[in-house]
Amino acid sequence: MKHLTNWIYGVIGMITITSLSPLAASADEGMWLFNNPPKQLLKERYDFAPGDDWYLHLQRSSVRFNSGGSGSFVSADGLVMTNHHVGADCLQKLSTKERDMIELGFCAKTPEEEVRCMDLELNVLQSIEDVTGKINAAVTPGMSSAEANQARRAAMNTVEKESLDATGFRSDVVTLYHGGLYHLYRFKKYTDVRLVFAPEKAIAFFGGDPDNFEFPRYDLDICFFRVYENDKPAKIEHYLKWSPQGAGDGELVFVSGHPGRTDRLDTMTHIEFLRDKTFPNAMRKLFRREVVLTAYSAESRENARRAQDDLFGIQNSRKARMGMLAGLQDPSIMGRKQAEEDKLRKAVQENPGKFKEPIGDPWSEVAKALETWDGIYYDQDLLENAAAFNSKLFHIARTLVRLADESAVPNAKRLREYRESNLESLKFELFSEAPTYEDMEVVTLADSLTMLVEMKGMNDPLVQKVLAGRSPREQAARLIEGTKLKSVEARKELAQAGAEALRKSEDSMIQLALLVDAPSREVRKVYEEQIEEPMRQAYAKLADARFKIYGTAVYPDATFTLRLAFGLVKGFEEAGQQVPPFTTFAGLYERATEQGNQYPFELPQRWLKRKGKLDLDTPFNFVSTADIIGGNSGSPVVNRNGQLVGIIFDGNIQSLILDFIYTEEQARAVSVHSAAILEALRKVYTADRLAKELLGDRTKGQSKTKR
Amino acid sequence: MKHLTNWIYGVIGMITITSLSPLAASADEGMWLFNNPPKQLLKERYDFAPGDDWYLHLQRSSVRFNSGGSGSFVSADGLVMTNHHVGADCLQKLSTKERDMIELGFCAKTPEEEVRCMDLELNVLQSIEDVTGKINAAVTPGMSSAEANQARRAAMNTVEKESLDATGFRSDVVTLYHGGLYHLYRFKKYTDVRLVFAPEKAIAFFGGDPDNFEFPRYDLDICFFRVYENDKPAKIEHYLKWSPQGAGDGELVFVSGHPGRTDRLDTMTHIEFLRDKTFPNAMRKLFRREVVLTAYSAESRENARRAQDDLFGIQNSRKARMGMLAGLQDPSIMGRKQAEEDKLRKAVQENPGKFKEPIGDPWSEVAKALETWDGIYYDQDLLENAAAFNSKLFHIARTLVRLADESAVPNAKRLREYRESNLESLKFELFSEAPTYEDMEVVTLADSLTMLVEMKGMNDPLVQKVLAGRSPREQAARLIEGTKLKSVEARKELAQAGAEALRKSEDSMIQLALLVDAPSREVRKVYEEQIEEPMRQAYAKLADARFKIYGTAVYPDATFTLRLAFGLVKGFEEAGQQVPPFTTFAGLYERATEQGNQYPFELPQRWLKRKGKLDLDTPFNFVSTADIIGGNSGSPVVNRNGQLVGIIFDGNIQSLILDFIYTEEQARAVSVHSAAILEALRKVYTADRLAKELLGDRTKGQSKTKR
């Protein structure tokens, strides 16, 4: 469920609607905006009508992990809970050959032992402002698609900069309904984030890849951090109270988190494009990367440690995408999508009175843009998405090169990631002390250069320049050997040196980044001006059509921004069997035994030793009908009283198609139960300081950090 | 090094020559025919000139494993030695959930305990007859390419049938130099083959994928079988005497085995076709199959057991092909290949007097055929090579369908694999009791159907028919559920029922095989008539040109038929370090310790317990400059006296490019040393019966089976 960040993929969020009926009144569907929550629906369906303060409290208790995931405040002293697999990015970076924090886990016995993460930024949504008018005003009739794209970008960059200057908050314009609305999100930002607690991977990810996206499930997929300000635990007004008894069968629960991306209201040609182009291309890369990193990992325990978080991300993404592709290749699902589209087309045709002007044929406009995309798809992926240069050091080099060039350009004209309001976050990541491993870099870069040759051909002029007369393996080794970018000092020097000096640099990776920058920018320009902008305009018309036909209480597709979902704790039927909604600790031990206690079903020693202390009937994991997707990992699950009853960490295999269609027949969100977390912290980890803090008794554990 | 059988890949053996000089006088190069051994070269280079009986003895002591590999007779009582990874096919089929013979190994303490393999056929080459005249006489000037192809096939099928009838030997016409010569190979065939001894996989494949194709190496990659006739051990005239002291540093050694395929004298456009089409396509399939089977294996120990031999084959092939592709993408190697071609072109141009008629431009003729191939390549792979139907049960269904259709056609017109002379071997495999696992079949078939959809598109009419309105996963499950072909009885009934009855069969897999048969045959016809035949004719001209320019003492590319290679036991330099030619048992224990005795470096208990008994200085594995490739696995390594001093099991990573170019700078063949085998059999396995038989003392161990 890890949200794999990829800017191209990320910005193509599409318009979404719940179903063909006005409101999703027949289902627990929806990833709702906090400034437009499903009040009527909750009232009608569950007789639940909380005040605005209920929503605001949940909103401000929710935390976005910019490494890709969700979380929540769970104490007044800045304690944040997320998934282990979300925290793993930080754990990986803090680990060394001698101390593998992913494998061994971590527990700070005192506040002093809490360890600062290298480059973890957390965001907390403060407010949402509708700036649709401002953004759309920049685009005037008669503008070419290229002009419109530039004008829109200028407006967005400017709005964000003004908001940052005025409020000091991180300010991002979020494109909703792919252009139907533009909202300005203001976030409080935390960059001093310290690790408090992580269990061993063997229990956090018990069952490994085989049990991933499956249920029944037995994972303690949690991790605790604390945000600091001025070297002290931050004082937090909005945090979630812990429910020791947790979620019950049939209970209504809410999920507040950051779904990364959905494609529910793509046109059929667009969905077919995902099926025929996007997913197969992504799978091919994932397959080869998984094989290459698995082979690298098998060479030694240290290699395995170095690669483990990347490999987890790849395997997780592979299993998720195989499930999604299976859905896209399923005629019954595609038939449902086709019926939805046919119905909307018909409704538009039959209700011309609802539109001031004829909307034309936005479906064909999307199809036309996709045709253009088809022509540049692989180039965009290889060059601009850097699939051909699978190296952290290349990513750094490109950022340095572009930072120099973009800084010389007025804010309004910059590539989005280099806009003024984003520079602090960008540099926070760029100057991270996170380790890079040269041997692993050579392996991944060599493989991706091999793929570049396969895809563009050995005689392609750019390929020739990139390889410089060497084989991909040789050139990869030379590129990694010839760069100083492992050193943060070297990066800082280059960042200050400016574009001129960069061009003269003899650093091999800077030279490579310079070499591919022009063709990369070229393909990006085509994408933004000839594909993204026309699609934005076409989808805006489709969004408008849906609003007019079905009403306005609809939610947009996921955009890795805060959303509210809801649903019932509820089992499901699979292969004729009823799967109960809860598992227990007892089930965990049974599963381990049944699998011979062998990896990835091998329990940590401490879990074997302390089995006798545990209440084995404690509910461990549970499922609900809440509407989630990748990026929701770590989202708090709360009850009507806003108390934390669990934490999302996965969806079952049937939920993978939620990318493009909601169903609650079998699809379920999977959570760790709040009672299990408490029980494990107390009995297995004797982490009393933490358990007390969660329950609000902070007099002892936090005495040293009182302000 | 496992030779992956694939008839399409197999039949494209190309013309080969040693180097640009007449004879490979400057290198230990060559995979020589036993009816044209490198006598002059051995005399000049090593002052070695054995009599014809020396060659004949070695030839008849050599054994081909039709499952893919080589071996040799090592006793008068039919004992055969090969690699563990060659024998693994039999071990896998004999294994059950309760008894994993690959993991645990096997040792027959008495002759009665020797276990019969389910479908293992061994071939021993008796004689070679040049039938070039007969085959070429069938093709007359003016014939179209299609007519020529049919005439040639008819001649081959007929020659083979006549030979079988006359001699009773398995008779195969082997196409050498891709049409330069046609030789009739007659084999004595053994189908009652019994397992005698196999070590544990953990020592046979110590180091696993990470150490595969690497050196230094520490593997006891051996396996012993015994051939039986009339339920008694076969009496063998030609077998290799064991050398207890084994190979020494700098010693001249010979390798007699069955290299599967090389591409050394392909034209440049052909090599580029391998680089740009063949290898990338193969890699994509291997990557996804490795991921899918690894994921399946992770689900349970039993799954891992079921998939292990297939998974080994895939990983082995993946690592080999990555190495080969790296060579093809290396400008320096491609430059050498280009120089070779340029030199031959020039020599042909400058020596018109050597040719009766102008040879024209065979290079362009090959290029033209490749263009045609490019157009059908994926269809051929998906349909005729059945890449879209990755299922053992599909393979059985297709064989049944085609067997019925081809049996109704005169022998001369049949597809090659259904020629009269091959039917016995074909049915031996078809009616094998080897287990098929439905769950694994569903997984592999679903993935390959998914790939079919990705490659041909959902709207392709054949795809639509294959899926029948279902998703690939659903349809795969339905196809496996709906077939009775797991039962050998059912197969036999269908084989007897004939084409009419098959067409009416409701068996799901038979229906699928019928559905794809017409388009499969169509693409095969295009391949054979428009690609294979023109390339055969063009390459025949190139072979003739090389004979005339460089002389006739050249060897053809590998064709999975018996060849002789030679070389010196010799270390090599790597990254500035000299790698010695031998490893020892002491090195094995060091490597295991250095890797924490963790999988795949975990030694079997018996090796840990009996370490004290072993002479740790015993040479374990060694390298030589002999010219080998996949298919040579299990080949005996003999000294000047024809004594067995080792057994080939691998090549180092630098040897992978031997597919298209020979080099002895770093490329080395890797063998198990004969002294290590004896030491391990005696001290670790207390397999005294076997050790004595190897040394020729059969009075005790074999007393019960004396004839």
| Residues of chain A with C-beta less than 8 angstroms from the C-beta of B470 | 330-331
pLDDT band at A552 (very low <50, low <70, confident <90, very high): confident
DSSP letter for A15, please: -
Write b or e for each residue in B98-111: b if 16 or more Cβ atoms lie within 10 A of its Cβ, otherwise e.
eebbbbbbbbbeeb
Q: Domain of B208: which CATH number?
A: 2.40.10.120
pLDDT at A17: 31
| C-alpha distance from B93 to closest chain A C-alpha (Å) | 24
For residue A309, the tally of other CB atoms under 10 A from its CB is 20
B473:A318 CB<8 A: no
Give the pLDDT confidence of B216-248 residue by residue, as tens digits: 999 999 999 999 999 999 999 999 999 999 999
| C-alpha distance from A451 to closest chain B C-alpha (Å) | 9
For residue A521, the tally of other CB atoms under 10 A from its CB is 15
Estimate the crossing angle of helix A488-504 against helix A508-526, to 10 degrees: 70
pLDDT at B265: 83
pLDDT at A292: 98
Query: Same domain, yes or no, for B520 and B632?
Result: no
Tokens encoding B567 = 């070389």
B242 beta partners: B644
| Residues of chain B with C-beta less than 8 angstroms from the C-beta of A595 | 300-301
Estimate the crossing angle of helix B331-350 against helix B301-328, to 10 degrees: 50
pLDDT at position B603 over 60 = yes
Query: Same domain, yes or no, for B260 and B294?
Result: no
A173 beta partners: A184
State the pairing for strand pair A232-233/A170-176.
unpaired
Residue ranges of alpha helices (H) inside B551-601 are 585-594
Separation CA B147–CA A298 (nearest Å): 53
Query: Same domain, yes or no, for B257 and B278?
Result: no
Three-state secondary structure call for residue B480:
helix
Give the pLDDT confidence of A17-38 residue by residue, as tens digits: 333 333 344 589 999 999 999 9
CA A529 to chain centre: 26
B451 lies in some domain: yes
Interface of B with A in 600-629 (CB under 8 A): 600
Mean pLDDT of chain B, nearest integer:
93
Separation CA B375–CA B389 (nearest Å): 21
% of chain B residues with pLDDT over 90 = 92
Give the pLDDT confidence of A467-510 residue by residue, as tens digits: 999 999 999 999 999 999 999 999 999 999 999 999 999 999 99
Interface of B with A in 449-488 (CB under 8 A): 450, 453-454, 457-458, 467, 469-474
Helix (H) or strand (E) holding A193: strand A193-198
Query: Same domain, yes or no, for B490 and B611?
Result: no
Query: Same domain, yes or no, for B238 and B326?
Result: no
Find the CB nearest B298 among A210, A280, A327. Answer: A210
CA diameter of chain B: 74
pLDDT at position A648 over 60 = yes
Query: Same domain, yes or no, for B611 and B664?
Result: yes
pLDDT at position B2 over 60 = no
- At B430, the amino acid letter reads L
B571 lies in some domain: yes
B582 beta partners: B622
pLDDT at position B289 over 70 = yes
A471:B330 CB<8 A: yes
pLDDT band at A8 (very low <50, low <70, confident <90, very high): very low
Phi, psi of A320 (to 5 degrees): -65, -45
pLDDT at position A44 over 70 = yes
Separation CA A650–CA A309 (nearest Å): 17
pLDDT at position A206 over 90 = yes
pLDDT band at A431 (very low <50, low <70, confident <90, very high): very high
Query: Same domain, yes or no, for B451 and B342?
Result: no
Interface of A with B in 210-249 (CB under 8 A): 210
Region B485-489: what's the mean pLDDT? Answer: 98
B458:A276 CB<8 A: yes
Kindly identify which residue of chain B lies nearest to residue A290, measuring between CA atoms.
B291
pLDDT at A11: 27
| C-alpha distance from A595 to closest chain B C-alpha (Å) | 7
pLDDT at A553: 76
Q: How far is CA B463 from CA B125, B449, B473, in A?
A: 44, 9, 14
Region B52-58: what's the mean pLDDT? Answer: 98
| C-alpha distance from A42 to closest chain B C-alpha (Å) | 36
pLDDT at B692: 96
Separation CA A148–CA A248 (nearest Å): 52
Separation CA A407–CA A400 (nearest Å): 10
Helix (H) or strand (E) holding B624: strand B619-624
| C-alpha distance from A393 to closest chain B C-alpha (Å) | 23
Radius of gyration of chain B (CA): 25
User: Which position has the token pair 């020494």?
Assistant: B248
Interface of B with A in 265-324 (CB under 8 A): 272, 275-276, 280, 283-284, 286-288, 290-291, 294-295, 298-301, 318-319, 322
- At B219, the amino acid letter reads D
A450:B474 CB<8 A: no
Find the CB nearest A301 among B290, B322, B596. Answer: B596
pLDDT at B5: 32
Separation CA B651–CA B655 (nearest Å): 6
**pTM tops 0.80:** yes
Separation CA B56–CA B60 (nearest Å): 6
pLDDT at position B701 over 60 = no
Report the candidate in B682, B4, B647, B678 with the shortest Cα–Cα distance to residue B324. B4
- Are A212 and A315 within 8 A, CB to CB? yes
A229 beta partners: A232
B142 lies in some domain: no
Write b or e for each residue in A411-439: b if 16 or more Cβ atoms lie within 10 A of its Cβ, otherwise e.
bbebbbebbbbbbebeebbbebeeebbee
Total residues belonging to chain B: 707
- When scoring B330, B449, B471 by the number of chain A Cβ atoms within 10 A, the one with the most, hence best to mutate, is B471
B163 lies in some domain: no
CA B485 to chain centre: 27
- Are B359 and B541 within 8 A, CB to CB? yes
Considering only residues A25 and B522, tell me which one the structure prediction assigns the higher pLDDT: B522
Give the pLDDT confidence of A149-189 residue by residue, as tens digits: 999 999 999 999 999 999 999 999 999 988 889 999 999 99
B84 lies in some domain: yes
Find the CB nearest A471 among B329, B454, B474. Answer: B329
Report the candidate in A94, A89, A83 with the shortest Cα–Cα distance to residue A4. A89
pLDDT at B697: 61
Q: Is B503 exposed, middle or buried (0-12, 13-18, 19+ CB in 10 A)?
A: middle
B47 lies in some domain: no
Least confident of A538-547, A616-625, B415-424: A538-547
Tokens encoding B672 = 């198990």
Region B355-375: what's the mean pLDDT? Answer: 95
pLDDT at A26: 58
Query: Same domain, yes or no, for B320 and B467?
Result: no
pLDDT at A583: 98
| Residues of chain A with C-beta less than 8 angstroms from the C-beta of B591 | none
Considering only residues B11 and B34, tell me which one the structure prediction assigns the higher pLDDT: B34
Least confident of A86-100, B11-25, B42-56, B261-275: B11-25
- Domain membership of residue B466 as a residue range: 376-526
DSSP letter for A256, please: E
pLDDT band at B26 (very low <50, low <70, confident <90, very high): low
- At B417, the amino acid letter reads E
Give the pLDDT confidence of A300-351 residue by residue, as tens digits: 999 999 999 999 999 999 999 999 999 999 999 999 999 999 999 999 999 9
Least confident of A92-106, A203-217, A545-559, B68-82: A545-559
Region A595-622: what's the mean pLDDT? Answer: 97
pLDDT at position B54 over 70 = yes
A287:B291 CB<8 A: yes
Three-state secondary structure call for residue B272:
helix
Output the CA angle A32-A36-A37, nearest 5 degrees. Answer: 55
Distance, first Cα to last Cα, chain B? 37
Report the candidate in B84, B70, B61, B59 with the shortest Cα–Cα distance to residue B241. B61
Query: Same domain, yes or no, for B581 and B636?
Result: yes
Tokens encoding A257 = 């988190």
A329:B598 CB<8 A: no
pLDDT at position A704 over 50 = no
Contacts of residue B235, Cβ cutoff 8 Å, sequence gap at least 6 = B76, B77, B78, B707
- Are B227 and B233 within 8 A, CB to CB? yes
Mean pLDDT of chain A, nearest integer:
93
% of chain B residues with pLDDT over 70 = 95
pLDDT at position A7 over 70 = no
- Are B203 and B211 within 8 A, CB to CB? no
Separation CA A234–CA A484 (nearest Å): 37
Separation CA B491–CA B66 (nearest Å): 22
B147 lies in some domain: no
Separation CA B555–CA B564 (nearest Å): 10
Query: Same domain, yes or no, for B387 and B419?
Result: yes
Contacts of residue A387, Cβ cutoff 8 Å, sequence gap at least 6 = A285, A381, A448, A451
- When scoring A100, A276, A288 by the number of chain B Cβ atoms within 10 A, the one with the most, hence best to mutate, is A288
pLDDT band at B180 (very low <50, low <70, confident <90, very high): confident
Give the pLDDT confidence of A264-312 residue by residue, as tens digits: 989 999 999 999 999 999 999 999 999 999 999 999 999 999 999 999 9
Domains contained in chain B, number: 3
Interface ipTM: 0.93
Query: Same domain, yes or no, for B634 and B677?
Result: yes
pLDDT at A697: 61
| Residues of chain A with C-beta less than 8 angstroms from the C-beta of B294 | 294
Three-state secondary structure call for residue A561:
coil
Query: Same domain, yes or no, for B452 and B591?
Result: no
Three-state secondary structure call for residue B170:
strand
Radius of gyration of chain A (CA): 25
Report the candidate in B266, B250, B396, B405 with the shortest Cα–Cα distance to residue B334. B266
B510 lies in some domain: yes
